[in-house]
Structure 1
Amino acid sequence: MKRLLIFLLIVGMMAGCSNVYSEEEGYRMALINHGFPIPKNASEIRPEICTTEIAKSAKYKLKDIGGSQGEPPAHYLAEIEDWGWTELEDQRVGNIHYYKKEGKIMSLVFQKHIFDVFEMSDEVKM
């Protein structure tokens, strides 16, 4: 019995460490904005502190979400638009993307294995 428990613990730990971006996994709603998609297998970690420009923030860990140079997967960006968000392409700076829908502005910041999602405050006009 003890060996079985140890085996299940090891298998569970290995499964928890294997979260890699995959478009086949699908998407779920972000905690900070239920109309914004997040890859299903992304793990939430401690978010950044909000400022006057940022109303809400969430930080997610997902292996290879940002590629080798922090570039986001094209499928994920297409999924965001499928959920009704429009990218503010003229506001993009490197790996920081902005999206707008129904008066709300969301910002995504990508790194190799981490991405931040920010809901901008109503004071920010773009």
Structure 2
Amino acid sequence: MDNIGGEQGLYRPDSYFNKLEDAGWVELEDKRLGHVQFFEKEGTVIAIEIHEDTFDIHEMNKDAKY
């Protein structure tokens, strides 16, 4: 994606994140770590790592410490 992240990955793609929330994903704002943001839905937690012009999505292990 173009024009997301910025040099330090701090600018999230709001249109994509709005679609996540519309689909029932809830942001775990207290877990946010700079350019990594966490969402939960039905017991599944994902981490979205934002970079300049890209982002990665990781499903967290059930016993992961984050």
User: Shared topology, TM-score over 0.5?
Assistant: yes
CA distance in 2, matches of 1:72, 1:95: 8
- 2:4 aligned with 1:65, yes or no? yes
The equivalent of 2:52 in structure 1 is 112
Alpha-carbon contact 1:66-1:113 (below 8 Å) kept? yes
CA distance in 2, matches of 1:76, 1:69: 19
Q: Which has the larger radius of gyration?
A: 1
Q: TM-score, normalised by structure 1?
A: 0.46
Question: More relative contact order in 1 or in 2 (CA 8 Å, sep 6+)?
Answer: 2
Across the aligned residues of Structure 1 and Structure 2, the Cα RMSD in angstroms comes to: 1.7
Aligned length: 65
Secondary structure in 1 aligned to 2:34? Answer: coil
Please list the CA deviations of residues 6-57 of structure 1 after superposition, one character each: whole Å capped at 9, or x if unmatched: xxxxxxxxxxxxxxxxxxxxxxxxxxxxxxxxxxxxxxxxxxxxxxxxxxxx
Question: Unpaired runs of 5+ in structure 1?
Answer: 1-61
Residues 1-126 of structure 1 correspond to what in structure 2 (within 5 A)?
A: 62-70=1-9, 71-124=11-64
Q: TM-score, normalised by structure 2?
A: 0.82
CA distance in 1, matches of 2:32, 2:56: 15
Runs of 4 or more, structure 1, over 4 Å off, are none
More helix by share: 1
Identity over aligned residues, as a percent? 38
Question: Unpaired runs of 5+ in structure 2?
Answer: none
